[in-house]
Structure 1
Amino acid sequence: MLVGIPLEQRNSPVKPKDCATEMSDYILAVAEERCKSSFARVFNYFAPRLRSYALKQMGNEALAMELVQDTMSNVWQKAHLFNAEKGSPSTWIFTIARNIRFDMLRKLQNRKEDICSDDLWPVLCEQTADQNEVSLDEQVTLEQIGHLFEALPEKQRAVVEAIYIDGKSQQEVADQLCIPLGTVKSRTRLALQRLKGMLSDND
């Protein structure tokens, strides 16, 4: 034997193992044996490809690396769900990556909406300001805002008033109204979107 190959095979071409089959075997080893070395092989092969995909889709290195980490963490945890008969390792892993990307984008959008909700803070707070300190034009605007604010649905108005006029935190409002924090955030976003729309209509 030479390097572990029987002499009769010396002149026979050695075909490299099909990559998809190889990765499938590694994932199977992760699923059945929690084999860290097999997972390392899968990680080393797919991580650069996932990073490239994430950079193209999201254009941000930090988000790309977060997607890679979350995807490969899912691969480790859900390896038992992989079925080679239903698809290749690449298809399975990139499906996980796309789902995580959608979740990340939704969270980013929600974050942006929460940040944008601060845009109306000065406008709403001005309702409590001394009217003698503002001009006639500003008074008209504040009167319009007050009128529009009253036009909000009662549940949305209660949440916005508690947060932006009474100065309570969203958690405090949730506790006060005995509703989930997510509901408070949702009502706040809907109310502010409605107010912005009404302001645009009144311009």
Structure 2
Amino acid sequence: MQATENRDDDWSTLLRLVGSQRDRAAFEQLFRHFAPLIKGFHHSRNTQALSAEAADELVQEVMFRVWRKAPSFDAAKASASTWVYTIMRNCRIDMLRRGNRHRDIDRDIQVDDIWDESPDSQPLLFLQQARDERDIAEGLRNLPAEQCHVVKKAYMEGKSHSEISVELGLPLGTVKSRVRLALKKLQASLNR
């Protein structure tokens, strides 16, 4: 594992530029990278609490907070991706809470019910992230090559189904079908 004090990956560097210099070009690169991933995460969750239209709202809120909180980013504590995904998780919880206020429920979701953010939980956070990454990598290896390829293009490269269709010369329906089948297989393998 890389020493966190020496973290100099591209995303951490860009985030430091946004935090220290309010660099708009660096923020634009962060936005182009993370926005499709945030949307993909939103769409991968089968929850009725957030409508499909809420994906754009989630992206906007997350990236607004990234811009606002960038000066507090500390590469010694977490990678840029972990930091952004933590903000995303918190924004998503806020959106769920706002949605629940409009329903008659006995109790709001509490952050502590979902995620323990105490300093003592940080090693658990890193362990869980490492396990998740390992499980997802294993799930991807077990997919048929054509399904793995389109999932990587959609979720790792942030391409739309239409863009993948054009790039690979496949019908749009085929791309959508492969992504859907791959996600079902990944979900099944992760739920074991």
The TM-score range, normalised by the shorter chain, is 0.3 to 0.5
Q: TM-score, normalised to structure 2's length?
A: 0.47
Which has the higher relative contact order, 1 or 2, with Cα contacts under 8 A spaced 6 or more apart? 2
Larger Rg: 1
Q: TM-score, normalised to structure 1's length?
A: 0.45
